[in-house]
Chain A
Amino acid sequence: MEDLGEIVGEFLMESHENLDQIDRDLVSLEQEPDSRDLISRIFRAIHTIKGTSGFLAFSRLEKLAHAGESLLSRLRDGVQPVTPETITVLLVTIDGVRSILASIEENGSEAEVDIDSIIVKVNAQMNAPAAAGAPAAETAPAAEAAPAAETEAPVPLEETPARPAPDPVADQRQPLGQILVDAGAAQPSDVSSALQQQIEGDERKLGTILLEEGKTQPAAVNEALQSQAAPKRSIADSAIRVDVDLLDTLLNMVGELVLARNQLVRGVMEIGDTTLVRSAQRLGMITSELQAGIMKTRMQPIEHIWSKLPRVVRDLSNSLGKQVQLVMQGKDTELDRSLLEAVKDPLTHLVRNAVDHGIEDPDRRTAAGKGAEGTLTLRAYHEGGHVAVEVADDGAGLDVDRIAAKAVEKGLLRPDQVANMDRRDIMAMVFQPGFSTAAKVTNVSGRGVGMDVVKTNIENIGGAVSVDSTPGEGTVWRLTIPLTLAIIQALTVDCGEHRYVVPQVAVLELVFIDGQSTKIEYASGAPVYRLRGKLLPLIRLDRALGLDVGGDQGVYIMVLQADGRRFGMVVDRVLNTEEVVVKALNTRFKDIGLYAGATILGDGKVGLILDVSSLARRSHLAVDSERENVVSNSKASGEGKMQRLLVTAVGERRVAIPLDTVTRLEEFPKDRIEHAGSREVVQYRGQILPLVRLSHLLGAYGEEPEGDTVSVVVYSEGGKSVALVVDRIVDIAENSTTARRDAEEDGLVGTAVIQQRVTELLDVRRAILAADPNFYSDAMDDMLVEA
Chain B
Amino acid sequence: MASRQFATFEVAGQLFGVEVDTVQEVLSYNEYTPVPLAPPAVGGLFNLRGQVIAAVDLRVQLGLARQALTGPVMNVILRGDGEPVSLLVDKIGEVVDLDDETFEPPPDTLSGPTRELVVGTFKLDGRLMLALDVNQAVDTYRATN
Residues of A within 8 A of B (CB): 252-253, 255-256, 259, 498, 545-547, 583-589, 592, 594-595, 598, 600, 604-608
Contact = CB atoms under 8 A, between A and B. Distances in A.
B33 A608 contact: yes
Interface in B5-33: 31, 33
B36 A600 contact: no
Contacts of A608: 33, 35, 45
B37 A592 contact: yes
A546 B36 contact: yes
19 contacts: A252-B49, A253-B49, A255-B50, A256-B49, A256-B50, A259-B50, A545-B36, A546-B37, A583-B52, A586-B45, A586-B52, A586-B85, A588-B39, A588-B140, A594-B36, A600-B52, A606-B45, A606-B47, A608-B33
A547 B36 CA distance: 7
A545 B85 contact: no
Given A587-B83, A606-B46, A592 B35 contact: yes
Contacts of B42: 588-589
Interface in B68-100: 83, 85
Nearest to B44: A606
B52 A585 contact: yes
Given A583-B51, A588-B54, A605 B33 contact: yes
Contact of A592 (B33, B38, B52): B38
Contacts of A253: 49-50
Contacts of A600: 47, 50, 52
A250 to B, nearest CB: 11
A498 B33 contact: yes
A598 B52 contact: yes
Contacts of B39: 588
Q: Which of B39, B45, B140 has the most CB of A within 10 A?
A: B45
A586 B47 contact: no
A607 B33 contact: yes
A736 to B, nearest CB: 40
A346 B46 CA distance: 36
B52 A605 contact: no
A585 B85 CA distance: 12
Contacts of A604: 31, 47
A606 B44 CA distance: 9
B34 interface: yes
A597 to B, nearest CB: 9
A598 B45 contact: yes
Contacts of B37: 545-546, 592, 594
A583 B48 CA distance: 12
Contacts of A252: 49-51
Nearest to A255: B50
Contacts of A259: 50
B141 A588 contact: yes
Nearest to A603: B31
A466 to B, nearest CB: 34
Contacts of A585: 52
Contacts of B50: 252-253, 255-256, 259, 583, 600
A204 B49 CA distance: 56
A546 B34 CA distance: 12
B11 to A, nearest CB: 20
Contacts of A547: 36
A545 B49 CA distance: 27
Contact of B34 (A498, A586, A595): A498
Nearest to A581: B50
Nearest to A259: B50
B27 to A, nearest CB: 14
Nearest to B141: A588
A252 B39 CA distance: 27
4 A-B pairs closest in CB distance: A256-B50, A545-B36, A606-B33, A606-B45
A606 B35 CA distance: 10
Nearest to B84: A586
